[in-house]
Structure 1
Amino acid sequence: MVRIVAVSLSDIAERAGVSVKTVSGALHGGSARMSDDKRQKVKAIAEELGYVTNLAARGVRQGWLPLVGVVSDGLITSPFATEIVRGLDGAARSAGMAVFAVNHRSGQSIGSVLDEVQQFRPRAVAYAAMYHKDVALPDRLAGAVGVMINCREATGRVTALVPDEEGGAREIVRYLLVAGRRRIAFINLPGILAGTLREMGFRAALGEAGIDHVGVFPAVRRSVYSDRAPSLVASHVEALLKSGQRPDAILCGNDRVAMEVYAALARAGLRIPDDIAVASFDNQVEIASRLDPPLTTMALPHRAMGRLAMEILLTEQPEPPHLHKLPFHLVERASV
C-alpha cells in the first residue's frame, strides 16, 4: 500500500527559506506586498513538493474559503455575462481564488440569495446585474456585499462599478460629428437607466457643438425597454425618411435596434453609410460584426468591470463606498 504524506506550509517555508506566513500569502492570495518573483518561487516549490490546499481546514482556521461568491441578477442569461465572468475569473485565479455564482431568481428576495451564498463561506461577495440599474439592498445586507457590478446600490452604501453611459454617448456623438454628420437622430431604450444617461450624453454633445438633434425616439411601444416588446423602430425610420429633415446618421440604443434600422434602410433602398450612417451601443459581436456593413458601436466595459471588482474584493484596505464609472471602447467598423 502506498502511503501519501501531506505536504505542509512549514515544509514549503523551510525549502524556500521564508516564513509560513509568506508561504500562505503566496499560495492563498493573502499578501498584497509580496514581490512577483518571491510569489512565483514559493508556488514553484509547492508544486514540486505536491502541496494541496486543505480547503476545509483553511475555512475553519480563517473563517472563509478561497472563493468569491457572485449574486447574479439575470447575469447568467445575458450575452455579456461571459465578459464579466472572464474578468472576475482571471483576476481571481491570479490570487489563488475561485468564483461561483448563484442566480437571483424572479420572486426570490435578495436576502435569501445572499444567505445561500454565505453558506459557502466565501471570502467576499459581489452583486452583478445583467443591465445597468439601481438595486435596493436591505439594511442588514449592505455590509455583506463588497462591490456592485453593472449596477449601483440605491443609497450608495456599496462601491459600484458601472459603464459611463453618458460619457459613452458623448464620445460616439462626437465621432459622428467628426465624420461630418450633422443631422443625427437617436432611437433610444425607454424607461431604463442606461437609456436615460445615454440620452443626456447625446443631447450634451450636440449642444456643445451648437447642433440640434433630429429627434429622440423610443425603440419599443412599452414604457420600459425589452427586446420582446413591440418594436417601433421601422415606423420611426419610415417617418424620418419622409420628414423634411432626413437624418444623415441614426444612433441606436443597442445593437438589436441597429439591426432593425439596417433592415428598414435596406427596404427604403438606402445605403449605409453613403446615405445614412448608423452607430450603436453594446458591441454584441455576433450582431455587430455580421451586419453588412459591420456596425460601428460602443463596447461595454464588462471585462474591465470584472477585473476591477475582483481587485476591490480582495484588497486588504478597502476604500469608502464610491461610484466608479468605467469608459466604453469605440469599435470602429464600416457603418459610419
Structure 2
Amino acid sequence: MRVSLEDIARAAGVSVKTVSGALHGGSARMAADTRERIQALATELGYVTNLPARGIRQGWLPLIGVVADGVITSPFATHIIRGLDGEASKQQMSVFVTTVSAARDAAATIAEVERFRPRAIAYATMYHKFVDLPEAADRAVGLLINCRSRDAARAALVPAERDAAFTITDYLLRHGRRRPAFLNLPGLLAGELREAGFRQALRAHDLPVVEERIGAAVSGGFYSDKAESLVQARIGAWLAGADAPDAILCGNDRIALEAYNALRRLGARIPDDVAIASFDNQVDIASRLDPPLTTMALPHREMGQLAADILLGLTETPEGVLEVPFRLVERRSV
C-alpha cells in the first residue's frame, strides 16, 4: 500500500502540516531535529512523493528553476549551482538549470521555466554585471545571483568586490608593501569596484594614489581572455621606473599567472622583490604557481547556498542587493 502523509504524521505524533513541511520544504520554521526525524521515518516507511498530485494541489512542484546567462560554462561560477543544489536537496527540492541563448532570450527562457511550475526561479550570470530583464520576466524571478538591477532595487546576491579589494590591499600594506600597483579588468563591473576598493585602502593608510601604477591588463575597453595582454609591457615599464612597485594586485588569477611570468623574465623574485596578490582563487592556477598565490576566493558556493535558503523561504529575502564576502586565501606570494 502507498504510504501517505497521514501515515507518517500518525507514526511521528505530529500534524500532517508538519510532515508536509518537513518533506516538501513548505515550513520555514521547524526544529532541525524534528525535520530530520520525520524525513528518516518517511524513508523507513517507504514514502514516495506524488509529484503531479502535489503540483496540482499546491500550484508548484519541488523544483527551483535557474535561468543561467553563461554560468554553466564558467570554470568556477558553476559553484553557484553546486551550492544551490546541495542546500536545496536538504529540503527535498531539486534544481534544474536552463540557459539563455541567441535563439532564446531571457524572457522566453524564463517563460519556458515557468511551465514546469517550480517553487521559485533565480536568474544567474557567469560574471558580476548589471541585468535588465523585461517586466514580465522580472516579476517571475525571485532572486538575481551574481548580477544586479541598475537601480539596486531587485533582490540580488553579488560578491562584495569593493570590500575584497580593500581587504587584500590592506593585507599587502600591513605586510610592509608601500608602493602597490594594480592590473585591472577594463570594462567589467568587478574591475570598477575592485579598483575603488584598492584606492580606498591606500587612502586609509594615508598613502598617495599613484595613477601611473594603475592600469588595464589588456588592450581595448573590455577584459577577456582573447584580448591582447598588456601585462608584460606594463610590468616592464613599472620596474624600469625610479619608483617601482613592491607589490602588484592582479584583477584575477589568470592575470597573476602572466605577472609571474613577466617578473621572472625581468629577473624579479616573488615575493622578495615584488609581492603578488589576486582575486578568484581559481585553484588550478593559484595553488600550482611557484610560490603559491595569495588571493581572494569568490563566494560563489556561499551565494548558491544562501540563494536556496532565500528562495525556499528559510532566510529572509534581501531588500535590494546583498553583498557576500570573499575569503582571503593566504599562500606564499606576499
Alignment match of 1:250 (pick from 248, 251, 260): 248
Relative to structure 1, is the Cα distance of residues 75 and 55 closer, same or farther in structure 2, using a 3 angstrom cutoff? same
SS at match of 2:128: coil
Query: Larger deviation: 12-21 or 174-183?
Result: 12-21
Work out whether 1:85 is the aligned partner of 2:78.
no
Contact 1:80–1:130 (Cα < 8 Å) also in 2: no
Does residue 198 (structure 1) correspond to residue 190 (structure 2)? The answer is no
Match of 2:292 among 284, 291, 294: 294
Match of 1:179 in 2: 175
Equivalent position amino acid for 2:126 in 1: M
Secondary structure in 1 aligned to 2:123?
A: strand
SS of 1:39 mapped into structure 2: helix
Partners of 1:142 and 1:317 in 2: how far apart? 21
1:104 aligns with 2:104: no
**What secondary structure sits across from 1:151 in the alignment?**
strand
Aligned partners of 1:320 and 1:220: how far apart in 2?
36
Counterpart Cα distance in 1 of 2:228 and 2:198: 24
Structure 2, unpaired ranges of 5+: none
Find the partner of 1:333 among 317, 331, 334: 331
- When residues 231 and 83 of structure 1 are mapped into structure 2, their CA distance, relative to the original with a 3 A threshold, is same
Distance in 1 separating the partners of 2:266 and 2:308: 48
Query: 2:140 corresponds to which letter in structure 1?
Result: A
Partner in structure 2 of residue 29 of structure 1? 25
TM-score (norm 2): 0.96
Aligned length: 332
Q: Report how far residue 319 of structure 1 moved.
A: 4.1
Deviation larger for 198-207 or 320-329 = 320-329
Aligned to 1:53: 49
Percent identity between the aligned chains?
60
1:137–1:155: structure 2 CA closer, same or farther, 3 Å change rule?
Answer: farther
Structure 2 distance, partners of 1:170, 1:189, is 16
Assess if the C-alpha contact under 8 Å between 1:161 and 1:323 holds in 2: yes
Shift of 1:199: 0.6
Report the 3-state secondary structure (helix = DSSP H, G, I; strand = E; otherwise coil) of the residue aligned with 1:13. Answer: helix
4+ aligned runs moved over 3 Å, structure 1? 316-321
- Are the aligned partners of 1:27 and 1:96 in contact in 2 as well (CA < 8 Å)? yes
Shift of 1:45: 1.8
Distance apart, 1:172 and its partner CA: 0.6
Once the two structures are superposed, residues 270-293 of structure 1 have per-residue CA deviations (whole angstroms, 9 ceiling, x without a partner) of 110011000001100000000000
Could you tell me which residue of structure 2 aligns to residue 218 of structure 1?
A: 216
The amino acid across from 1:118 in the alignment is E
Question: Normalising to structure 1: TM-score of the pair?
Answer: 0.96
Contact (CA 8 Å) 2:309, 2:315: kept in 1 or not?
no
Q: Which amino acid aligns with 1:51?
A: Y
| Other structure's SS at 2:127 match | coil
1:323 lines up with 2:321 in the alignment: yes
Paired residue secondary structure (1:108): coil
